[in-house]
Chains A and B, each alone.
Chain A
């Protein structure tokens, strides 16, 4: 067992974890933050995307112990004081989701995208979220959602 201390959605968390425990499983099963989804086992699909120290990362690619000392934001931590994050609003307004399984990861990736590029073109959005798979929407309404959040 390894000692782990980190901050998740503003709360300090400490735990003893197996060194092999994936961060995604730690968030989901020990903290019960089940909004972070796991859609593959090869780090392609992006359903598990979270923000670690301000950068987006696929939490199935990282051992929980590697995240020690870091600050993590999951989908559950995105809304503040009951107000949806503009990206969440964008997805709701523009029908950016259907089954909702890829959605938390997609939203986190999109937040990261806009952090890097405040007013992306449609093509830049499509390239920017190409590390996240969606099987339902054909991506078009996701692109619109991200543009909505970007204020276009």
Chain B
């Protein structure tokens, strides 16, 4: 007897990625792998001073070089291209894609070369001679706020990009401030922890540097632009606006994208320049960043100083929190620059019931590369500041850091929970995550190990931190692009499915997870499904991939579009089976009447009928294709608890991470293997920030850490085996119950590791250490010097 094959349900399973066969064979196509007939290469001449007036630019030698097609100065580019747009409502100074008369950071573009290959283009850029009248540079954010020695933008006195925005308890929507509650909280305090903390500047460093290929076809009046971007639809919108073309005349393609980490959200000068240059010359052009260029030309992340005051009773009850934030945003506002630190304010409530919170935010221009989103984008900073302060409080009160947290948690029955910062947390069970982490790490056992090690004279410490982040961005009211995501699902004539998503991936594995979802929804094999993405010519609408939104928002749009198509397909099947559409089951590649497997019609035959509908059931149009926009009513708020154990070499100050336990609750998971990968990667970047990464400028504004020779990317040998344990608290915000997980690892890890280092050095009287944990810094503490 024939056995009916049974297709297993795939959602929730560790399904191998469908992206991998091409990538493990070197057959992916990244931007730099694209070659068009007649394509020329762009190179940028960049400023080698941090601040100065351009006295003259001599391009004559470059123009005479064999193979050089064209050279453009900033002035010439400005004739084709307006000022750089931003995506936030904050005031912004005039910013040109290529500097016209003043440069404000080292690496700012000053001229553009187009040549036959990248070698000649680079030679020609080198042959351009630029003379500057140097201006003083300012690189320290507190110094910058004095307006001395320089004001970078004349319309922004004292270099204040955003003068001072208050938020939190007692601050009305219109910005009126009532200090009663926050003052009362601090008046009642039996103990106040006050600490200045620096969340240092980082370079995102996706392994694929940025790149763009732009091809304007004069005969058609259309442009195709390939870019290593996280959001091709936003790119299309911006390129159309800046080139004067319609959105229907621009096709933006994100091919294989080699990581983004937030730094490929921004639409960059190089993308706009490539677009206007191809339009001017009528030939395809390519620009690909090299790594040293990326260090100055791709936005940096973090760089926020905080003055944190935490008020509490001696029993550990937290009464109030003040957080004065000063963000160093570099020389210009980019797409989301000004908004990133507002997420730090938004998440200052952390996982606790804090009766009163007051944050203020000031943003400051300096002569550095602009900042923008970097994995976590504002939320790791909030987590770091609050969790470090909580740890300092635990230390002062001689309380177990876990018990201090437990005492202050928002409780499960209190969700949805409206925070002091205006967020409404969707769901949470913080104590369960804490307990899961304590159990997984064997917290009491770790303490014994630490104490035993100390008896041997070793410097071993433990760290623990909670986090809650905002993901699944979000309602359209919160994003200038709109916060929805789009999907179109088509059952093809042969019974296979093609589906588009606006959530354009760059390593997240959407082709796999979204395929899993549709396979279950329609009861067909995963192999019969293709997920299309990253091409505005194919994907009708979309926003993009950032803020841990792919699954929660994009996945939901896919599910909704699938639901519509399935409902229509059920009507066709009902006509064929002479059954009611509500009585059908889609499984094992068939559509059958419930309880009557012999009635089954092959899925493909129902699909074929829908495209040649003879007879056409009443009230139906032919075809099986539909789309959905999902507009979330709220963000999602994943959370978790991280625990670490760290040892510091007494002789050299070198820290070694011995253990990292992470409990992350991202709601329902589609593919736990992919989720683990996301958490691992986030942890690596968070641990990198805590231990080895830091962008450093000298006082003249020269970037000291301008290559991989000087900026440490964490290596495999830097990490222990991470120990992960999930808990599951679904969100009510979307039907999948999925919250998002891409950034989680960067949140809990930094405070947890710094707290472990402080614990390891507790014998030396240290209470806080700013990141990164440079061995020299730790060695000085051990030697009794400054922290």
Contacts and interface: CB of A to CB of B under 8 A. Distances in A.
Interface in A39-93: 39-42, 44-45, 47, 74-76, 78-79, 84, 88, 91-93
B290 to A, nearest CB: 5
Contact of B684 (A21, A139, A143): A139
A139 B677 contact: no
Interface in B222-260: 256-259
A25 to B, nearest CB: 8
B95 interface: no
Contacts of A3: none
Contacts of B259: 98-99, 101, 135-136
Contacts of A47: 207
B674 interface: yes
Nearest to B20: A92
Contacts of B507: 98-100, 136
Contacts of A133: 207, 708, 713, 715
Nearest to A97: B23
Nearest to A133: B713
Interface string B78-120: 0000000000000000000000000000000000000001110
Contacts of B261: 135
Interface in A96-140: 97-104, 107, 122-123, 125-127, 129-130, 132-140
Nearest to A18: B119
Contacts of A45: 207, 291, 708, 713
B785 interface: no
Greatest chain B CB density within 10 A among A21, A41, A88, A136 is at A136
Contacts of A140: 680, 719, 721-722
Nearest to A43: B708
B292 interface: yes
A129 B290 CA distance: 22
B205 interface: yes
B26 A41 contact: no
Nearest to A131: B715
B707 A135 contact: no
A9 to B, nearest CB: 11
A29 B39 CA distance: 13
Contacts of A130: 715-717
Contacts of A95: 16-17, 673-674, 676-677
A42 B16 contact: no
A98 B677 contact: yes
Given A76-B25, A78-B25, A138-B722, A39 B208 contact: yes
Tell me the dominant secondary structure on chain A's binding face. Answer: loop
Contact of A35 (B27, B290, B709): B27
Contacts of B721: 122, 140, 143
Contact of A34 (B29, B117, B206, B708): B29
B707 A138 contact: no
Given A95-B17, A99-B207, A135-B205, A75 B716 contact: no
Contacts, number: 185
B28 interface: yes
A4 interface: no
B550 to A, nearest CB: 13
A135 B24 contact: no
A134 B261 CA distance: 13
Greatest chain A CB density within 10 A among B16, B27, B681, B682 is at B681
A11 B20 CA distance: 26
A97 B17 CA distance: 9
A93 B717 contact: no
B103 to A, nearest CB: 22
B355 interface: no
B67 to A, nearest CB: 12
Given A34-B26, A40-B291, A100 B680 contact: no
B207 A42 contact: no
Contact of A42 (B19, B35, B708): B708
Contacts of B208: 37, 39, 99, 101
A85 to B, nearest CB: 9
A101 B30 contact: yes
B21 interface: yes
A72 to B, nearest CB: 13
Nearest to B204: A135
A29 B508 CA distance: 28
Given A39-B258, A102-B258, A139-B680, 16 more contacts: A76-B25, A98-B259, A98-B507, A98-B677, A100-B19, A100-B256, A100-B507, A101-B258, A103-B23, A127-B716, A135-B713, A137-B680, A139-B715, A139-B719, A140-B721, A140-B722
Interface of A: 18, 20-21, 25, 28-29, 32-42, 44-45, 47, 74-76, 78-79, 84, 88, 91-93, 95, 97-104, 107, 122-123, 125-127, 129-130, 132-143
In order of increasing CB-CB distance, the 8 nearest A-B pairs are A35-B26, A101-B258, A100-B23, A99-B507, A138-B680, A75-B26, A138-B684, A98-B507
Interface of B: 16-17, 19-30, 32-33, 35, 117-119, 205-209, 256-259, 261, 290-292, 506-509, 673-674, 676-685, 707-709, 713, 715-717, 719, 721-722, 745
